Structure 1
Amino acid sequence: MPEPSQGREVSTPQAIMALRRRLYSSLSLLVLVVIISSAGFYVLNRPHESAREGVLLGLWETMNLISTVGSLPEEHMGDAQRVWAMFVIAVGLGFTLYAFGNLIALLTSGEILHVFETRRMERQITSSKDHVIICGYGNTGRLVAERLASQAVPVIVIEKEHDLAEAATNHGYLTIRDDCTQESVLKKARIERARGLVATLDNDAANVFVVLTARGLSRELHIVSRANLPETVSQLERAGANQVAVPSRIAAQQLANAAIRPDLNRFVQRAIHGQEVEMLEVRISDYPAMAGKSLRELNLPRAVDLLVFAMIPKGGTLAFNPEPDTVVNEGDLLLTAARKGAVERLKPFTET
């Protein structure tokens, strides 16, 4: 796996191992200095009443020198001890300061905090469900993430480029810096528990590969892809995309509608972007209190200020402007338009 970028994104095992190596090497250097210095004093201070006394004395003299908080009794020191003490001061103290400096740098650089933070993020991704995976965090991917976040939909971003991955993490999204065309990376994003995947890469061939890989991992996943070229749409659909969007075509349609039907286009755009009016998919399985009742009984326009303009029965096809006596059942889907805040107003229907 590539190395992680900075910010709140998933770290790699290599980064954690590198941090551990720096910690272990610093601690090992400290221990080595103490052992060598103590051994030197043990040999030079002989004879000892006991080996235990010699070891403790050597350790005591070493700690006095390298900590600079004490001094050695010169009246009991010979030339050999003085030479060894100078060596310990010159070399041992230098190594000790280097080791402590390394440890302080680790503690103050934020690397340790970053490791703990990214470990926490990994646990969040592991426990994620009912989320949308966004492949690519370019301009399109960023706008998709913003729109989903505004609807309180959990998002996991997969982005290979360092700067874009860092931007995604700084914007608060769970981010995996890696290649989204890899099966293992999509598994890491918990694709089996995701509600959808959006492929927004600039390269159509890469989008086809992402869609093909994702469909192979999940037959039920709802997959939406960007197509830069209209002729790529059929390839993406054959690869398994449920819906394909061509930005240039969408822009052309919107411009044409704005030119000939400006008021209707303005209303639709407001509804799409959730300004004053919002368009919602109401799944009856999410609102069990609606099941078994007719649209007349539910009286949604008056009860929650919501208008049903189409319905897709379970296993059926779209029916525009369903009759008031139409009974809705679990598995049915209502296509609606409502004033902003309809999700909150629909909450009473979530209880049976």
Structure 2
Amino acid sequence: MKSNSFLVRLVRLRNQLGVFWPLMVSQVSILGVVILAVYGYMVLEGWSMADAVYMVVITLSTVGFGEVQPLSTEGRILTSFLILAGVGNFAFILGAFSQLLVEGKFFHVIGSRRVLKTIGKLKDHCVVCGYGRIGSVVVKEIVAEGQDVVVIEHDPEAIALLQEEGILYIEGDATSDEVLAQSGIVNAKNLITALSEDAANVYVVLSAREMNGSLHIVSRASSHERVSKLKQAGADSVILPNHIGGLRLAQSVLRPTVTSFMELANRRATLDIQMEELTIGEDSSLVGKDLIESELRPKFNLIVIAIKKQGQDMVFNPDGRTVLEAGNTIVAVGAQEKLKDFSLLL
């Protein structure tokens, strides 16, 4: 049983070290050769430890120095084995390291560790699972807003694109708890699951909700039947891309002017105007004031479309006497520069 347990731990260690396993084995091997050789000289020749260590060092380094003391026949045999074992180990180390360089694994591993270190420092970032047709659009929008994002992807072609665009990513399966943890899910603020399979999205939502109870989760679904499953798993909202895309196409024909107005929500609209949501902080000077007192219209020329109070339904076209409270989210339309100025008050 003990031998089996040792083998299991050894296999786990090998999996953890990955491409560095041959280097570790060679280092342990050369260390073992040195210890046995020192012990051999001390026993066979009766030398002190200092003399034995020095003899081993000059022998393995092949510097050509003479023997510390005259060797017996047994000592010469030991020296011969030491030379063969040392040369063999050094050749193995050189071969393993050369393989890492030639295959590019060394720099890949070093780069991956740097990425993990960078991700570990992130706070309130967004994690996106999947960099396909939908996920790539999501990531580009988040990056355009200047927010931190980490992508989880396993497809080599998608990973190549992420590398070209300089986007932080974790290579692996998003349904793996270990991969989710590497993305900094514990410190993340938002999670978007844009995987093609609904079952995978459900699993990711379940795992992420368990790791971070305060995480805001948005998930993709392929049909209405899957919406309830994802919400039961812990998703705050579920989006059906095909359904939304169909509605948008229909509205572009039925209500083209309204559709053009909704384009204002896109920051890259051609007009210098956009729709934005702004949350009032606890220390904001607007807390306790109504919309008239806030002077949103005369000072910033903003139109308030709706106000979302915590725990209540959204109020559209709010009255001028509506009192603003900490935590309220204001949906407003106006010039981009004016929206930025107003956000400073929040």
For normalisation by structure 2, the TM-score amounts to 0.73
How many angstroms apart in 1 are the aligned matches of 2:54 and 2:207?
Answer: 64
Look up the match of 2:25: 25
**CA offsets per residue over residues 17-53 of structure 1, 9 Å max, x none?**
4577545433332233334445565667x5x6xx32x
The equivalent position to 2:306 in structure 1, one of 304, 310, 315, is 310
CA gap of 1:330–1:85, structure 2 versus 1, over 3 A, is closer
Q: What is the CA–CA distance in structure 2 between the aligned matches of 1:184 and 1:63, rounded to whole Å? A: 43
Equivalent pair of 1:156/1:176 in contact (CA under 8 Å): no
The answer as to whether partners of 2:127 and 2:191 remain within 8 angstroms in 1 is: yes
Deviation (angstroms), 1:349: 0.7
Asked if 1:257 corresponds to 2:251, the answer is yes
Cα gap change, 1:26 to 1:303, in 2 (>3 Å): farther
Distance 1:254 1:65, change over 3 A: same
Q: How many equivalent pairs are there? A: 329
Instruction: Please state how far the C-alpha of 1:87 moved relative to its aligned partner.
Output: 4.8
Distance in 2, matches of 1:111 and 1:217, equals: 28
SS of aligned partner of 1:293: coil
Out of 267-276 and 207-216, give the one that drifted further. 207-216
Aligned residue in 2 for 1:172: 167
Runs of 5+ unmatched residues, structure 1 = 1-11
Deviations 1:279-324 (A, max 9, x none): 2212223671111222222222443343211223344333222233
2:26 aligned partner, one-letter code: S
How far residue 158 of structure 1 moved from its aligned partner, in angstroms, is 3.9
Q: CA deviation digits over 1:243-263, x for unaligned, max 9? A: 332222222222223334445
TM-superposed CA distance for 1:68, in Å, is: 2.4
Write out per-residue CA displacement over residues 142-162 of structure 1, whole angstroms, 9 at most, x where no aligned residue. 221221222233334344556
Q: Counterparts of 1:341 and 1:286 in 2: how far apart (Å)?
A: 23
Residue by residue, what CA displacement relative to the aligned partner does 1:106-134 show, whole Å, maximum 9, x if unpaired? 6992377347425524633xxx5433332
Find the residue that maps to 2:318 and give its secondary structure.
coil
- Gap change, CA 1:316 and 1:42, over 3 Å in 2: closer
Equivalent pair of 1:311/1:319 in contact (CA under 8 Å) = yes
Aligned-residue CA RMSD in angstroms?
Answer: 4.1
Q: In the alignment, which residue of structure 1 is the partner of 2:326?
A: 330
Instruction: Name the aligned partner's letter for residue 110 of structure 2.
Output: L
Match of 1:339 among 320, 326, 335: 335
Instruction: Find the residue that maps to 1:349 and give its secondary structure.
Output: coil
Does residue 299 of the first structure (1) align with residue 311 of the second (2)?
A: no
Q: Does 1:289 align with 2:293?
A: no
Cα 1:32–1:96 shift into 2, 3 Å: farther
User: Who is 1:110 aligned against?
Assistant: 107
Give 1:154's aligned amino acid.
Answer: D
Q: Find the counterpart in structure 2 of residue 225 from structure 1.
A: 219
Q: Aligned equivalents of 2:178 and 2:88: distance in 1?
A: 47
Q: Aligned residues: percent identity? A: 28
Counterpart-to-counterpart distance in 2, 1:16 and 1:202:
29
| Residues 61-115 of structure 1, C-alpha deviations (whole Å, 9 max, x = no match) | 4333321222326996777766665554444323234335546776992377347
Secondary structure, aligned partner of 2:285: helix
Q: CA deviation at 1:335?
A: 1.0
The amino acid that maps onto 2:90 is: T
Per-residue deviation, 1:326: 2.7
- The equivalent of 2:3 in structure 1 is none
1:272 aligns with 2:269: no
Name which structure has the greater RCO, CA cutoff 8 Å, separation 6+: 1
Asked if the contact 1:284/1:331 (under 8 Å) is kept, the reply is: yes
Of the three residues 201, 206, 213, the one matched with 2:200 is 206
Q: Structure 1: how far apart are the matches of 2:302 and 2:14?
A: 53
Residue 117 of structure 2 is matched in structure 1 by 120
